[in-house]
Chain A
Amino acid sequence: DAMVIQNPRYQVTQFGKPVTLSCSQTLNHNVMYWYQQKSSQAPKLLFHYYDKDFNNEADTPDNFQSRRPNTSFCFLDIRSPGLGDAAMYLCATSRDRGGGTEAFFGQGTRLTVV
């Protein structure tokens, strides 16, 4: 059974039109991450939640926001998508942040901006 579920798998949005991607988990993990992965590039960490604490990466554009209303769900909001935001967006969870803690990934949402 899928433990980290991302919806939708494919999302097409218009240039400048706000879009929300969702992620849910059944693992009851404390940490939830959002990564952006462009073709042939490393997944890039955008931000993460440790429980309710939001941790933004320094180079994440303000256009990207996130919400975590409860332990199970986390959302990625792109306020005004540009063509350069087309990418695969990966959600991941982990029990904790330290040491050898494994991260569990969803299947990703591929975002197309038209």
Chain B
Amino acid sequence: GNSVTQMEGPVTLSEEAFLTINCTYTATGYPSLFWYVQYPGEGLQLLLKATKADDKGSNKGFEATYRKETTSFHLEKGSVQVSDSAVYFCALRGGSQGNLIFGKGTKLSVKP
């Protein structure tokens, strides 16, 4: 079945550091890929998405590229801020019913 694997957290960075959170997937067919973010006390919100190979999703300085050859969708940001502290979930939508399947989440803490 479809699945998502993302790097274990927590990840602790200093402000302005470079961020990478790795995500790989297993899926049949051609899934769409997503990154969701969950700030403390809030629900999950869409951060960015890509719907086909080589697409790059971007939002708020975050980027991720859909790499079919490596089945990956790594999240990157060149310079993180304290306000980026949150839990980040990689997800895919695929299969006959288009269910949204999540990874375990990676907690990011950014220190001033």
Partners in one complex: yes
Where the two chains meet, the residues of A that have a C-beta atom closer than 8 Å to any C-beta of B are 4, 33, 35, 40-43, 45, 48, 50, 55, 90, 92, 94, 96-103, 105-108
Decide if B100 touches A103 in the complex (CB within 8 Å): yes
Residues of B within 8 A of A4 (CB): 43
Contact A105 B43 (CB under 8 A): yes
Nearest residue (CB) in A for B104 is: A42
Kindly count the residue-residue contacts between A and B in the assembled complex, taking CB atoms under 8 Å apart. 62
CA distance A43 to B102 in the complex (A): 6
Nearest neighbor of B57 in chain A, beta-carbon distance: A100
Q: Which residues in A have their C-beta under 8 angstroms from that of B50?
A: 100
| B44 and A101 within 8 A (CB) | no
Please give the number of chain B residues whose Cβ is less than 8 angstroms from any Cβ of chain A in the complex: 24
Instruction: Determine chain B's interface SS by DSSP, over half rule.
Output: strand
Q: How far apart are B8's CB and chain A's nearest CB, in angstroms?
A: 9
Cβ of B104: which chain A residues have Cβ within 8 Å of it?
A: 40-42
**Inter-chain pairs besides A33-B100, A98-B93, 7 sampled, C-beta below 8 Å:** A92-B44, A100-B32, A101-B93, A103-B44, A103-B100, A105-B43, A106-B43
30 contacts between A and B (CB under 8 A): A40-B105, A41-B104, A42-B4, A42-B89, A42-B102, A42-B103, A42-B104, A42-B105, A48-B97, A50-B97, A55-B97, A90-B43, A90-B44, A94-B100, A96-B98, A97-B98, A99-B32, A99-B51, A99-B93, A99-B98, A100-B49, A100-B51, A101-B93, A102-B46, A103-B44, A105-B43, A105-B44, A106-B43, A107-B42, A107-B43
Hey, which chain A residues are within 8 Å of B97, CB to CB? Answer: 48, 50, 55, 97
Interface status of B14 (Cβ within 8 A of chain A)? no
Q: How far is the CA of A40 from the CA of B104 in the complex (A)?
A: 6
On B, residues with C-beta under 8 Å from A are 4, 32, 34, 36, 41-46, 49-51, 89, 93, 97-105
B98 touches A98 (CB 8 A): yes
B98 CB contacts on chain A under 8 angstroms: 96-99, 101
